[in-house]
Amino acid sequence: MRLDKKHIDNHNTDQSALHNKRLRFAKDEIADADQIIEKLKAFQVAIPSWALGTGGTRFGRFPGGGEPGTIEQKLEDVGLLHALNQSSGAVSLHIPWDIPQDHQALKNLAAELGLSFDAVNSNTFQDQKDQEYSYKFGSLQNVDKQVRDQAIAHNLEVIRHGEALGSKSITVWLSDGSCFPGQINFRRAYENTLESLREIYAGLPADWKLFLEYKAFEPNFYSTTVGDWGQSYSYVNKLGEKAYTLVDLGHHLPNANIEQIVSLLLMEGKLGGFHFNDSKYGDDDLTTGSIKPYQLFLIFNELVEGMDARGMNHANDLGWMIDASHNVKDPLEDLLQSVEALMIAYAQALSVDKQALKQAQMESDVVRAQEILQHAFRTDVRALVAEARLQTGGALQPLGLFRDLQVRKQLVAERGFQQSTGL
Amino acid sequence: MRLDKKHIDNHNTDQSALHNKRLRFAKDEIADADQIIEKLKAFQVAIPSWALGTGGTRFGRFPGGGEPGTIEQKLEDVGLLHALNQSSGAVSLHIPWDIPQDHQALKNLAAELGLSFDAVNSNTFQDQKDQEYSYKFGSLQNVDKQVRDQAIAHNLEVIRHGEALGSKSITVWLSDGSCFPGQINFRRAYENTLESLREIYAGLPADWKLFLEYKAFEPNFYSTTVGDWGQSYSYVNKLGEKAYTLVDLGHHLPNANIEQIVSLLLMEGKLGGFHFNDSKYGDDDLTTGSIKPYQLFLIFNELVEGMDARGMNHANDLGWMIDASHNVKDPLEDLLQSVEALMIAYAQALSVDKQALKQAQMESDVVRAQEILQHAFRTDVRALVAEARLQTGGALQPLGLFRDLQVRKQLVAERGFQQSTGL
Amino acid sequence: MRLDKKHIDNHNTDQSALHNKRLRFAKDEIADADQIIEKLKAFQVAIPSWALGTGGTRFGRFPGGGEPGTIEQKLEDVGLLHALNQSSGAVSLHIPWDIPQDHQALKNLAAELGLSFDAVNSNTFQDQKDQEYSYKFGSLQNVDKQVRDQAIAHNLEVIRHGEALGSKSITVWLSDGSCFPGQINFRRAYENTLESLREIYAGLPADWKLFLEYKAFEPNFYSTTVGDWGQSYSYVNKLGEKAYTLVDLGHHLPNANIEQIVSLLLMEGKLGGFHFNDSKYGDDDLTTGSIKPYQLFLIFNELVEGMDARGMNHANDLGWMIDASHNVKDPLEDLLQSVEALMIAYAQALSVDKQALKQAQMESDVVRAQEILQHAFRTDVRALVAEARLQTGGALQPLGLFRDLQVRKQLVAERGFQQSTGL
Amino acid sequence: MRLDKKHIDNHNTDQSALHNKRLRFAKDEIADADQIIEKLKAFQVAIPSWALGTGGTRFGRFPGGGEPGTIEQKLEDVGLLHALNQSSGAVSLHIPWDIPQDHQALKNLAAELGLSFDAVNSNTFQDQKDQEYSYKFGSLQNVDKQVRDQAIAHNLEVIRHGEALGSKSITVWLSDGSCFPGQINFRRAYENTLESLREIYAGLPADWKLFLEYKAFEPNFYSTTVGDWGQSYSYVNKLGEKAYTLVDLGHHLPNANIEQIVSLLLMEGKLGGFHFNDSKYGDDDLTTGSIKPYQLFLIFNELVEGMDARGMNHANDLGWMIDASHNVKDPLEDLLQSVEALMIAYAQALSVDKQALKQAQMESDVVRAQEILQHAFRTDVRALVAEARLQTGGALQPLGLFRDLQVRKQLVAERGFQQSTGL
């Protein structure tokens, strides 16, 4: 289904008096509000195709209805989100869960929906039917060269799909590692992985980036071969200038200071992008901003500061993506909440008084530095975010409208109770 | 398949010279070795039916072959283990993964294999086909009385199956909880759960126990309604004298001192039993003793001390069970390793010089207390464990014999590549 | 020094136009704003005497100047805070760091400053000069009855001091525990501690409460004898109706769900009070609300809901106290930031639409429940907090005025560079 | 005091029959036992001067008696340890806690005691009396160039002391970091630290190494500027070939896989050395091997494998040092226990069947790989460790002899109750 633009217009008209009042107040409170709105308008978060269905855990899965069953339906779902918030204008495909047959048709459909294709994702953490070699003991790290070659070939194939669709990057997340002491030789696993990555890197088009994602644990529970930012950094340094580290917020040991990692990777010129989500215990893949919103703000604070310091373009020079699982929520509603939380954190970070903060830091005035950050975080920036949507044709209250229009009910009517592929 | 006893005899004969040499040395080194051997002979660890197949994570699953497809085959697998180590003489069924049809026939088969039926396990963390209400938002905690009633009825049915098989306890593990702040009211969830548990408790036969297992997180990632030992303890205290807390080693927050929890629950008379496994990060369900063997020893040290202080029977007064997942290993081999690790830890704990330890404690001689425990742990007790097996008709080296006899190959030949039900 | 009221009046006059504008907007946005303001006016957070000086770690200490050297000066410091924010109207003394000589004179001074005496605190985690027995191996848990008796006598003496000052509660925090496996017998340590607590409890005046604080680790690094809420709960249940659990936000294992603990303790009628602070790694004792403000809000959300459910008086029925260490900040500035963060979290919690939340929960509408909580948290409530201060005679911007008046400079001039006693 | 060699001889004579019996058994059980003994004989662990006195926490300190008050007495204490175990033949000094006055006299004393000077340690985490600038807000990271210069000068002075004593390395541990979000700019802190380190590195003698130690948290509780191995690695890579990462076992986030870090740093040629201790929660600084002995073994397993792969000399090519705090034990007894635990772990690692392990890994035979490691760990190697001591003139049971000779009593008689300087 597609959203009739007049629904959005009616919704916005109904809300406009209240919105305008809030916007006026926010503009009085926040310096440079108009510039912030401009940046918000340009900011787009890619939606991964696997996040459009209900997720699950190893214990169970409770699917909802109306989930997309084809790539086309997945694009339509992202199109719905984008129509509502005008900030979800890209989709990130996952091979082999989404194997494009007619790339041009898909590109046409995406264009029609205002979408582009963000990073493509390979999968060597599951075995596919009719696959020759198993990834039970790893893929790019595997002691068996034939397994590694199969995984390399898969990544190269993913790149070819991406090229045909206009993607400019591939995200490589490896579950490679071990479950027990002694299972692998760490050095050999590293060296095999590096050698394999070099072959994939060699197949990268000239204007592409390779994002190497790290993760502390799960599904391997003793070691992971790209286990932390330091390991990812050491690989991408060796691979070359098109290789970057990708940060997934849920992929760290307890209590890690992620914002510091972000700052340092930016400093080193090796931050490639993000997988946004939130978590309390592990890779919980909860809705972005639902558990630790201040941490999310602090991360954006580093992003804004660090990108500005390098003269980077906020909208284009990093890959922004959501990677969450929706076990107890409607996936589309969850994604609307996630994007809203990201826009709020970004707006708050943009509103930080950077000169004052720098001065406080140079004077080691800790109390003042905290006040500056807390002021930005405590200020209600939602009117700016809504205004950015309004100016780009989105809805003032995307989630409210989604519910008012009973979108899910329509999708169920259209598609039935089919379940989507993915985690 | 069944194991021909003569294979075991031949194996033991081949190993006997070496074994006897080691046993003599161990007896010289360890006081009261013969008494320890007697206790080891009496010690039995229940094997859960779901641990007989290859496990997996939400990311993937790599099944092996020859897995049991029926309850009968599962009993046969446990029978194989028990034939080899004479310490796995009980099986713990899981409903609805194992719904007995002919209880008497199963009892006969078990008796033939030397097995008894340990705690039965209910499952309200997954929806079963044709189930009327969904557990998506919890079972015993659910805001909907109809859901709770369905879950209560399921538990009562599980008890009936258990009764028919000769079980004497039910283990209730609830995944109930929430994924997001606000999703549930903690107090209401507690009260609903308590009320539901009271109904199940009311249906408990007079000579049964109810074990209430706690877990910090997963599959719910914000809160769990029976989330730690304190919560389980507060429920079982209210339920009555037949209700006990069950400790699963992987169900704690990072760095928890599990041995202290064990000691205090024993003191309160509320420790019911164990789910053994090991972990590095979360509920990793790795082979018992594979990551933190000293912790396992310290837990057994508290068990022995605390049970002796209450005059409890080591073999019968607590429920001993393995609960692990075998993602990269042959399940039967993994279980043999697990039981071996348990027997070693138990033997080490039995060998602790309790009088000397008490004296060191009463003198606050920390160095001496550490020496006493480390001495017990550093001493090689494997010959005692092997001797206990020998005396009860098991194999000196169960895993070695399992491989020598190519048991898995035979199982694959017999059963093909079918996959078992479970996690 | 004391604050001249006219400074506050001038400050408020200067800020009044901007404040009134913000207040009007906030009242438009927040239902029942006036009732919230009334509750904020009644809310008082006790300041512990040891938080008035610069803290430190085992690695070092970098004291500032003008720290209070006597109880009288400590009262004066709290008086300064209270004059500024009208929410710090109580002080919590620590024996033996503050041994009152003339109780009546102290009471007069407190009354003059508008302060009352909150819980008194005992200290059996350090040895004092001329103390007969050492607490090196614990106090109430100690294997030596003489050590226990000394610690009991100390607690009883602390109660007598508190009585003379008008306190109504004692907080017992024990560092008792062990650093190494084997050092103590957990059960004996529990039993000794319980027996000792019973003696202290027996000496409690009829209208007093005993708060038993728990802590996961530090300064003992293997076990703590009152180590988690479950242990504290099991002690206070045995002690009697005047015994309660005290929650310190920094005393948990990583990732603990503190808000759930709060809710359950309230349900059980066993929550006594709070030590507020914030932390990222352990008992970091950072400024309240500086690291995880959303968690602080969620805790207050449970407090408001749970206290209302039991008909409790928010202002009086629990003990509210800060317990933080100020290693890199001016202690008074840090405390102003802490109280501000508490008032904000409390105001946000009060503003939650409880009916709507309950309805969402009863419908398992997870998305809506999250929206309700996030809306309350994202709304800027600072104008309500400031208005509460204004109406009770405090300053609109306490920290701003503290700096404008150069209070610290005056304290240094008055007192010099002396260092306060405490952690 | 010095130990009379005849005490050791008598002790060894008394124990020899039992020892020989155990040794014979161990040699039968362990392949290449004699080669292992040779390696154990060569292995020396440096004792840090600050570990010779009773440590403490921010909460308190319970000093014992007879602690060394001068560098000479500290050398004597290490001399006692070395006489007993012949494996503690080096001392690591800490400036300014130990400022040598007469370097030649110290060298003579050390030579007399059979000791050499291992890495020297600088201290910029505390302010010393009469120090011009404070390190309250960091040292090498400080925003104030004057503070940085002072810290650089201190490090260069430490190097000069080390040169005069024959040390060949300096360990730089920085507590630099921040306690609150916003306090520092991470990038600026990194850049200042790097620039400062370059100046220290420039002052390094040609045959020296610089060890850069990382730590996740404490005493700064929001961020640490050399916070994990990845950060240390990125600094030492930029500094040059004489700069290496130093791993302290207690300086990681919860659940970190330290053995993997060790393997990768060895692979990169950037592992410099170790600070050994053990911990359950944070930087607990407990006795090495007292909490997680299997982890210690796994670390040594990687060390042996990785050093052999690079042709490194086990005894000389890495810096081995203990860094622990003895809050409830006699420091010398604690150090004897620590060295014993290290020797055991090293012996176990040496006894691993490396060919079989490699084969199991190449076949992804996880069960077999685990069996191989567990077999090495479960085998009692203490007789080999004792034999290595015997052959080098040490005592079969160092701790037993220490107690039999009442060494502490003699030290107290000699020195009284003075307290040592340090943590």
Closest-approach residue (CA) in chain D for A145:
D362
The C-alpha angle with vertex B185 and arms to C346 and A409, in degrees rounded to 5, equals 110
What's the pLDDT score for residue B422? 66
CB C68 within 8 A of CB C417: no
d(CA B121, CA B92): 7
CB A191 within 8 A of CB A142: no
Using CB atoms, which chains have 3+ pairs under 8 A with C?
A, B, D
Residue C374 CB burial class (10 angstroms; 0-12, 13-18, ≥19): buried
Q: Residue B223 forms beta bridges with which residues?
A: B178
Question: In this complex, is the C-beta atom of C294 within 8 Å of any C-beta atom belonging to chain A?
Answer: yes
pLDDT in tens, B69-84: 999 999 999 999 999 9
Interface A:D, Cβ pairs < 8 A: 151
Neighbours of A78 (CB within 10 A): 27
d(CA A240, CA C61): 45
Query: D328 CA to chain C: closest CA distance, Å?
Result: 7
Residue A74 CB burial class (10 angstroms; 0-12, 13-18, ≥19): buried
C232: helix, strand or coil: helix
Question: In this complex, is the C-beta atom of B256 within 8 Å of any C-beta atom belonging to chain A?
Answer: no
Res. B27: pLDDT tops 70: yes
Between C57, C181, C222, which is nearest D58 by CB?
C57
Query: A423: pLDDT confidence band, cut at 50, 70 and 90?
Result: low
Omega before A293 within 30 of 0, i.e. cis: no
Question: In this complex, is the C-beta atom of A267 within 8 Å of any C-beta atom belonging to chain D?
Answer: yes
d(CA B87, CA B43): 6
Best of D59, D131, D224, D338 to disrupt the C interface (most C CBs within 10 Å) is D59
**Subunit contact D366:B329, Cβ cutoff 8 A:** yes
Interface B:D, Cβ pairs < 8 A: 67
**Subunit contact D287:B370, Cβ cutoff 8 A:** yes
Question: In this complex, is the C-beta atom of B257 within 8 Å of any C-beta atom belonging to chain D?
Answer: yes
Best of C184, C252, C264 to disrupt the B interface (most B CBs within 10 Å) is C264
Query: B286 CA to chain A: closest CA distance, Å?
Result: 7
d(CA C16, CA C19): 5
Question: In this complex, is the C-beta atom of A156 within 8 Å of any C-beta atom belonging to chain C?
Answer: no
Structure tokens at C55: 């803290």
What's the pLDDT score for residue A419? 73
C257 CB neighbours in chain A (<8 A) are 280
Query: B417: pLDDT confidence band, cut at 50, 70 and 90?
Result: confident
What's the pLDDT score for residue C321? 97
For chain D, which residues score pLDDT lower than 50?
none
Res. A420: pLDDT tops 80: no
pLDDT above 70 coverage of chain B, percent:
99
Give the mean pLDDT of A12-17: 98
Radius of gyration of chain C, Cα coordinates, nearest whole angstrom: 22
D221 CB neighbours in chain C (<8 A) are 279-282, 284, 286
**Subunit contact A367:C399, Cβ cutoff 8 A:** yes
CB B251 within 8 A of CB B214: yes
Instruction: Tell me the residue type at D331.
Output: P
Between D56, D134, D179, which is nearest C327 by CB?
D179
What's the pLDDT score for residue B188? 98
C244: helix, strand or coil: strand
The C-alpha angle with vertex B340 and arms to B336 and B341, in degrees rounded to 5, equals 120
CB D285 within 8 A of CB D331: no
**φ and ψ at C376, to 5 degrees?**
-60, -40
For chain C, which residues score pLDDT lower than 70?
421-423
Query: B1: pLDDT confidence band, cut at 50, 70 and 90?
Result: confident
Tell how strand B60-61 and strand B56-57 pair up. Answer: antiparallel
D93: helix, strand or coil: coil
Alpha helices in D310-406 (DSSP H): 331-350, 354-362, 366-378, 382-392, 398-404
CB D54 within 8 A of CB D62: yes
The DSSP secondary-structure symbol of C36 reads H
What's the pLDDT score for residue B216? 98
Between A291, A337, A344, which is nearest C378 by CB?
A344
- Domain edges within chain B: 45-343
Q: Which residues contact D300 (CB under 8 A, 6 or more apart)?
A: D345, D346, D348, D349
Of the candidates A294, A263, A264, the one whose C-alpha atom is nearest the C-alpha of residue A278 is A294
Question: In this complex, is the C-beta atom of B283 within 8 Å of any C-beta atom belonging to chain D?
Answer: no
What's the pLDDT score for residue A417? 82
Mapped to the 3 state alphabet, what secondary structure does chain B carry?
A: CCCCHHHHHHHHHHHHHHHHHHHHHHHHHCCCHHHHHHHHHHCCCEEEHHHHCCCEECCEECCCCCCCCCHHHHHHHHHHHHHHHCCCCEEECECCCCCCCCHHHHHHHHHHCCCEECCEECCCCCCCCCCCCCCCCCCCCCCCHHHHHHHHHHHHHHHHHHHHHCCCEEEEECCCEECCCCCCCHHHHHHHHHHHHHHHHHCCCCCCEEEEECCCCCCCCCEECCCCHHHHHHHHHHHCCCEEEEEECCCCCCCCCHHHHHHHHHHCCCEEEEEECECCCCCCCECCCCCCHHHHHHHHHHHHHHHHHCCCCCCCCCEEEECCCCCCCCHHHHHHHHHHHHHHHHHHHHHCCHHHHHHHHHCCCHHHHHHHHHHHHHCCCHHHHHHHHHHHCCCCCHHHHHHHCCHHHHHHHHHCCCCCCCC
CB B388 within 8 A of CB B41: yes
Between B253, B264, B306, which is nearest C256 by CB?
B253
pLDDT above 90 coverage of chain A, percent:
96
C252 CB neighbours in chain B (<8 A) are 253
Best of C214, C257, C270 to disrupt the B interface (most B CBs within 10 Å) is C257
Structure tokens at C421: 């006693």
Sign, CA dihedral C178-C180-C181-C183, equals negative
**φ and ψ at D11, to 5 degrees?**
-55, -45
Question: In this complex, is the C-beta atom of C101 within 8 Å of any C-beta atom belonging to chain A?
Answer: no
Crossing angle (nearest 10°) for helices C331-351 and C382-391:
110
**Subunit contact A182:D267, Cβ cutoff 8 A:** no
What's the pLDDT score for residue D423? 64
Of the candidates D282, B1, C125, D234, the one whose C-alpha atom is nearest the C-alpha of residue A253 is D282
d(CA D306, CA C385): 61
d(CA D133, CA B153): 73
**Subunit contact D217:A255, Cβ cutoff 8 A:** yes
Of the candidates D137, D161, D155, the one whose C-alpha atom is nearest the C-alpha of residue D197 is D155
d(CA A361, CA D184): 6
Closest-approach residue (CA) in chain D for C255:
D254
Of the candidates C202, C216, C196, the one whose C-alpha atom is nearest the C-alpha of residue C138 is C196
What's the pLDDT score for residue C1? 86
pLDDT in tens, A73-104: 999 999 999 999 999 999 999 998 999 999 99
Enter the ipTM: 0.97
Of the candidates A130, A148, A142, the one whose C-alpha atom is nearest the C-alpha of residue A200 is A148
Residue with tokens 């969450």: A324
A284 CB neighbours in chain B (<8 A) are 179, 217, 221
Strand spans (E) along A99-178: 116-117, 120-121, 169-173, 177-178
B55 CB neighbours in chain A (<8 A) are 58
Query: D267 CA to chain A: closest CA distance, Å?
Result: 7
What's the pLDDT score for residue C418? 74
Res. A422: pLDDT tops 70: no
CB A335 within 8 A of CB A79: no
- Count the residues in chain A: 423
Question: In this complex, is the C-beta atom of A216 within 8 Å of any C-beta atom belonging to chain B?
Answer: yes
| Second CATH level (architecture) for the domain A45-343 | Alpha-Beta Barrel (3.20)
Query: A156 CA to chain D: closest CA distance, Å?
Result: 26
Residue with tokens 């070496």: B18
Closest-approach residue (CA) in chain A for B252:
A281
Between D59, D135, D328, which is nearest C125 by CB?
D59
The DSSP secondary-structure symbol of A219 reads S
d(CA A421, CA A331): 13
